[in-house]
């Protein structure tokens, strides 16, 4: 049997993952054409490369259909409840850095902390008759974070892309999104709250705690880990 | 573990008991419009209830409890006074503890009556306590009303009292606010600069929050900074109150002592006293009945008076086997202009059977 390794199927995340393994003597490559989502592995026997969307890797790891997978901490924690029981982080890969943050308009000079946000949300609701809207695609992480912080009178609205634009478009008053540099935020006249860091994420190699393994696969995993750590 | 058949049989038995106490059996729908629940509980409800949707009715929730639909039904066309009972599944999303059920049978008893709130409190508690006979569980009682009265009675600005009142159900936030109002926490430098008028709005103002709203908040912050800190004695009173954890008679005597320094809580304390008498009249031995002033603060935020629960003896991992309380304010929120004092409670027949059959 083979050890199944899931890697993001496109873009910089795929290239950097290939580079990272390559630098450690494990060559990952797409087999056949660029459009084919299967791959080949050289340098270690018994590993099968599966290319799939980074967003699906947490679910596949949790279901035990992948033994190993590369994806961001943010996606694992958003998509898997009790993630620590389902997957184990093996290595942080040192790229794909992204922070999940809470941001409000720069013009809100009275709001710098979660405490301010909570007070502003109460006044907003009294004034507008509905809860202050926070646009995000990380519903679970943001809700949990705000619950812990005791922020009330907000509502999450779903935004699967161009989240920074929702405030200007008046479909949200604040946002919670991944930012790697902060430039997009500044360009959209948004600022991060002083205590608004929800999660620091980077590309990470995960091991499924649920995928069945035989001795041969355990040997393969040990051989692979010797190479890459 | 009891079978579903056994649990439903037990539920029917409990519902019949409440019918014998004059309650009318009702059957609220399983799917509830999400907006009512979201409006009541905020975003937190999404972590606790299953949300589904269709293109016609939009978002709906699998009922996380019966109280809200029963109150809505009563406020829409109920005659007064009224008593209701119900039995059926409720659905609770679980994201942290796989051992907790996400679907279970609940049986409830609710009284809508203006005449004698203490007697209604006592009747609901005594009826549920009787139904719990033979189940190894211990009762605990509390009263959210006395804490609300204490906050309302603090010698400080209305704005601070409103902020504390808003977070009564979030103990950590409440604590943070209390510390801040008492001048015990550091003021962030950004706040100092803002109040010194050193911060200008340079970026374009985006979104629905207006300049007036921002200025109103800055004015509120300035007003708060100018107000004297909440006196140490006042903070102590709240802390002493929250620490009350005694049998009912001892708790009452401590609350009476507190009412000397905080006379605003006297009516709420008198209500607890009247309830204790009403409980005695129902045959409850209040000398042994625990009262905890902070009980019920982490439940869903609609209880505003009497609260109670029954916890399994020696099984701390289990949720409450029965619980309930008074929710006068909820009838106001859902009553479109109307309101009526209301109290009720629920039991979990599945857990009752499990505990009864335990060796």
Number of domains composing chain A: 2
Q: Residue B359's pLDDT is what?
A: 65
A194 CA to chain B: closest CA distance, Å?
10
pLDDT greater than 70 at residue A7: yes
Q: Residue A181's pLDDT is what?
A: 75
Render pLDDT for B92-132 as a digit per residue (tens, 0 to 9): 998 777 888 999 999 999 999 999 999 999 999 999 999 99
Percent residues over pLDDT 70 in chain A = 97
pLDDT greater than 70 at residue B340: yes
Render pLDDT for B232-265 as a digit per residue (tens, 0 to 9): 999 999 999 999 999 999 999 999 999 999 999 9
Q: Do A131 and B43 touch (CB under 8 A)?
A: yes
| Average pLDDT of chain B to the nearest whole number | 93
Q: Where is pLDDT greater, at B207 or A36?
A: B207
Checking DSSP bridges between strand B58-62 and strand B103-112, what pairing results, if any?
unpaired
Per-residue pLDDT band at B284 (split at 50, 70, 90): very high
Q: Do B43 and A154 touch (CB under 8 A)?
A: yes
pTM: 0.85
- Distance between start and end Cα atoms, chain A: 23
The CATH number given to whatever domain includes residue A41 is: 3.40.190.10
- Based on the domain organization, do A70 and A165 belong to the same domain? no
Residues 6+ apart with CB under 8 A from B124: B109, B111, B324, B343, B344, B345
- Based on the domain organization, do A192 and A206 belong to the same domain? no
| Average pLDDT of chain A to the nearest whole number | 92
pLDDT greater than 70 at residue A70: yes
- Based on the domain organization, do A188 and A208 belong to the same domain? no
Q: Do A113 and B188 touch (CB under 8 A)?
A: yes
Q: Residue A36's pLDDT is what?
A: 64
pLDDT greater than 90 at residue A111: yes
Q: Do A115 and B96 touch (CB under 8 A)?
A: no
Residues 6+ apart with CB under 8 A from B294: B142, B147, B171, B242, B243, B245
pLDDT greater than 90 at residue B337: no
- Based on the domain organization, do A46 and A74 belong to the same domain? yes
pLDDT greater than 70 at residue A34: no
Q: Which residue of A has its CA nearest to B189?
A: A112
pLDDT greater than 70 at residue B4: yes
Q: What is the 3 state secondary structure string of chain A? A: CCEEEEEECCHHHHHHHHHHHHCCCCEEEECCCCCCCEEEEECCCCEEEEEECCCCHHHHHHCCCCCEEEEEHHHHHHHCCCHHHHEEEEEECCCCCEEEEEEEECCCCCCCCHHHHHHHHHHHHHHHCCCEEEEECCHHHHHHHHHHHCCCCEEEEECCCCHHHCCCCCCCCEEEEEECCCHHHHHCCEEEEEEEEEEEECEEEEEECCCCCCHHHHHHHHHHHHHHC
Q: Residue B301's pLDDT is what?
A: 67
B207 CA to chain A: closest CA distance, Å?
5
What average pLDDT does range B8-20 have in this prediction?
A: 98
For residues A122 and B164, give the distance between their C-alpha atoms in angstroms, rounded to a whole number: 12
- Based on the domain organization, do A102 and A196 belong to the same domain? yes
Checking DSSP bridges between strand A98-105 and strand B342-347, what pairing results, if any?
unpaired
Render pLDDT for A127-182 as a digit per residue (tens, 0 to 9): 999 999 999 999 999 999 999 898 999 999 999 988 999 999 999 999 999 987 78
Domain that holds residue A140: 98-201
**HSE, side-chain direction, 13 A CA sphere, residue B264:** 16
- Based on the domain organization, do A75 and A115 belong to the same domain? no
Q: Residue B298's pLDDT is what?
A: 76
A150 CA to chain B: closest CA distance, Å?
5
- Based on the domain organization, do A107 and A182 belong to the same domain? yes
pLDDT greater than 90 at residue B79: no
Per-residue pLDDT band at B293 (split at 50, 70, 90): very high
In angstroms, how far is CA B262 from the centroid of its own chain?
23
SS3 label, residue B291: strand
Q: Do A144 and B47 touch (CB under 8 A)?
A: yes
Render pLDDT for B294-321 as a digit per residue (tens, 0 to 9): 998 876 668 999 999 999 999 988 999 9
Closest to A111 (Cα-Cα) out of A129, A134, A128, A130? A134
pLDDT greater than 90 at residue B139: yes
Closest to B213 (Cα-Cα) out of A108, A132, A152? A108
Return the H-helix or E-strand segment holding B270: helix B266-281
Q: Residue B47's pLDDT is what?
A: 85
Give the residue from B35, B43, B175 with the most A CB atoms within 10 Å of its CB, the best one to mutate: B43
Q: What is the ipTM for the molecules in this complex?
A: 0.85
pLDDT greater than 70 at residue B278: yes
- Based on the domain organization, do A219 and A153 belong to the same domain? no
Q: Residue B95's pLDDT is what?
A: 78
Q: Residue B113's pLDDT is what?
A: 96
What average pLDDT does range B141-165 have in this prediction?
A: 95
- Based on the domain organization, do A215 and A148 belong to the same domain? no
Q: Do A110 and B205 touch (CB under 8 A)?
A: no
- Based on the domain organization, do A34 and A109 belong to the same domain? no
Whether A174 contacts A132, CB under 8 Å: yes
Q: Residue A33's pLDDT is what?
A: 66
- Based on the domain organization, do A134 and A169 belong to the same domain? yes
Render pLDDT for A39-60 as a digit per residue (tens, 0 to 9): 889 999 999 999 999 899 999 9
Size of interface A-B (CB pairs under 8 A): 105
Per-residue pLDDT band at B277 (split at 50, 70, 90): very high
Whether B83 contacts B112, CB under 8 Å: yes
Q: Do A106 and B98 touch (CB under 8 A)?
A: no
Q: Which residue of A has its CA nearest to B192?
A: A110
A177 touches chain B (CB under 8 A): no
Pick A110's closest partner by Cβ from B43, B194, B204: B194
B237 CA to chain A: closest CA distance, Å?
23
Q: Residue A1's pLDDT is what?
A: 73
Q: Residue B45's pLDDT is what?
A: 87
Domains along the sequence of chain B with CATH: 1-136+342-359 (3.30.930.10), 138-183+231-312 (3.30.930.10), 185-228 (no CATH)
- Based on the domain organization, do A83 and A136 belong to the same domain? no
């Amino acid at each position: 049997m083979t050890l199944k390794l899931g890697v993001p199927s496109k873009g910089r995340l795929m290239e950097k993952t290939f580079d990272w393994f390559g630098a450690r003597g494990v060559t990952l490559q797409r087999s056949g054409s660029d459009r084919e989502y299967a791959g080949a592995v050289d340098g270690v026997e018994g590993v099968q490369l599966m290319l799939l969307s980074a967003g699906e890797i947490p679910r596949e790891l949790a279901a035990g259909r992948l033994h190993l997978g590369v994806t961001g901490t943010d996606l694992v924690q958003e998509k898997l409840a009790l993630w620590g029981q389902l997957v184990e982080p093996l290595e942080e890969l040192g790229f794909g850095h992204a922070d999940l943050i809470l941001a409000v308009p720069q013009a809100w000079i009275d709001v710098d902390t979660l405490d301010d946000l909570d007070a502003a949300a109460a006044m907003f609701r009294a004034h507008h008759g509905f809860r202050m809207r926070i646009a995000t695609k990380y519903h679970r992480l943001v809700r949990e974070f705000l619950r812990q912080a005791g922020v009330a009178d907000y509502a999450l609205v779903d935004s699967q892309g161009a989240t920074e634009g929702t405030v200007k478009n008046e479909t949200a008053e604040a946002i919670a999104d991944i930012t790697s540099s902060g430039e997009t935020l500044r360009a959209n006249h948004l600022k991060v709250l002083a205590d608004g860091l929800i999660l620091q994420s980077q590309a990470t190699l995960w091991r499924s705690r649920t995928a069945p393994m035989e001795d041969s696969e355990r040997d393969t995993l040990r051989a692979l880990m010797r190479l890459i750590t | 573990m009891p079978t579903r058949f056994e649990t439903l049989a037990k539920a029917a038995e409990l519902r019949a008991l409440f019918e014998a106490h004059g309650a009318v059996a009702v059957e609220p729908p399983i799917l509830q419009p999400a907006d009512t629940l979201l409006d009541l509980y905020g975003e937190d409800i999404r972590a606790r209830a299953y949300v589904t949707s269709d293109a016609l009715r939009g978002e709906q929730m699998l009922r996380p409890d019966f109280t809200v639909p029963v109150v809505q039904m009563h406020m829409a066309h109920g005659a007064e006074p009224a008593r209701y009972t119900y039995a059926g599944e409720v659905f609770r999303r679980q994201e942290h503890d796989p051992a907790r059920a996400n679907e279970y049978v609940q049986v409830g008893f609710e009284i809508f009556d203006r005449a004698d709130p203490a007697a209604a409190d006592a009747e609901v508690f005594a009826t549920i306590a009787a139904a719990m006979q033979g189940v190894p569980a211990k009762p605990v009682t509390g009263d959210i009303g006395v804490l609300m009265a204490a906050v309302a009675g603090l010698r400080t600005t209305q704005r601070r009292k409103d902020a504390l009142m808003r977070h009564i159900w979030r103990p950590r936030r409440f604590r943070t606010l209390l510390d801040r109002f008492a001048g015990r926490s550091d003021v962030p430098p950004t706040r100092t600069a803002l109040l010194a008028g050193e911060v200008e709005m340079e970026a374009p103002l985006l979104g629905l929050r207006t300049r007036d709203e921002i200025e109103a908040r800055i004015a509120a912050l300035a007003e708060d900074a100018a107000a004297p800190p909440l006196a140490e004695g006042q903070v102590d009173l709240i802390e002493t109150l929250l620490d009350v954890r005694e049998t009912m008679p001892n708790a009452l005597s401590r609350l009476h002592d507190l009412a000397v320094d905080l006379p605003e809580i006297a009516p709420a304390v008198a209500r607890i006293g009247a309830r204790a008498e009403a409980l005695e009249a129902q045959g409850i031995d209040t000398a042994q009945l625990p009262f905890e002033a902070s009980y019920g603060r982490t439940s869903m935020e609609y209880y505003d008076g009497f609260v109670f629960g029954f916890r399994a003896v020696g099984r701390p991992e289990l949720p409450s086997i029965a619980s309930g309380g008074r929710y006068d304010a909820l009838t106001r929120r859902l009553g479109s202009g109307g309101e009526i004092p209301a109290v009720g409670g629920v039991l979990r027949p599945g857990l009752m059977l499990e505990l009864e059959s335990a060796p």
